Structure 1
Amino acid sequence: MPRKSPPNQTLLPLNGEHVQYRTANTTNEARVDVSARGFWTRGQRAFMEIRIFDPMAACYQRIPLEAAHQKNEREKIRRYGDRIQNVDHGTFTPLVFTTSGGMGPKTKCFYSRLADVMAEKKHQPRSHVVA
């Protein structure tokens, strides 16, 4: 029988489960920035972690912007994705932004879904919600 998640952004404690990456957050007090029920799938919790990075920082100077977004997304996924999927039985989306407002690929998908949900809920055209 699946365990129930706490009502906030706190993740379920590990109870003998093993996570795939050594960089995963395995503390019993682990939490994410945002969670919502039913965002991607009806009844399932969606967890989101936010990262904002400066693409002009020295560590990103030699890679394309798209690669920098993907690098930051991968780091968040390795830290939380496996645990959320296998212990909390939820979905995980890294929300990666640049300091100038750019978004990573998964963040763009998130915002597209958010626009769809808000348009439906407010009975407005999607184009109005996006604007």
Structure 2
Amino acid sequence: MIALTDQPINTDEVIAAVQANGAGAINVFIGTVRNKTQTKAVVRLEFEAYESMALKKMQELADQASARWPVQKVAIVHRTGVLPIGEAAVVIAVSTPHRKASFEACEFIIDTLKEIVPIWKKEIFEDGEVWVAAHP
């Protein structure tokens, strides 16, 4: 499951997508919208994506993780549009035979996703807004 959506992410569906008989571990990362960046109160986030390229890059990440670790299945779902505080912006699930590989593969996917996938985040504050670099 590799997807972009403008609807709330169903975490249970993402986890179910990586269920596998050979999996002894499923690691799930859920990136959520927080209410503060440093000292500024965040009102909401807005995400935009170059959809066809983002989906291609997300699949490449899943393929790279599968080449580096004994991955059974990978799911990556990222939101677009306007997200309120507390909403899941991204859900990544990875199943592997053992826990260490699932943690490592999941961390690789989220870190690399922020660097190479064309998804842009705008933070909206009470007194303005700013586009955020993945790794400022």
TM-score (norm 2): 0.26
Structure scoring higher RCO (CA < 8 A, sep ≥ 6) equals 2
More helix by share: 1
More strand by share: 2
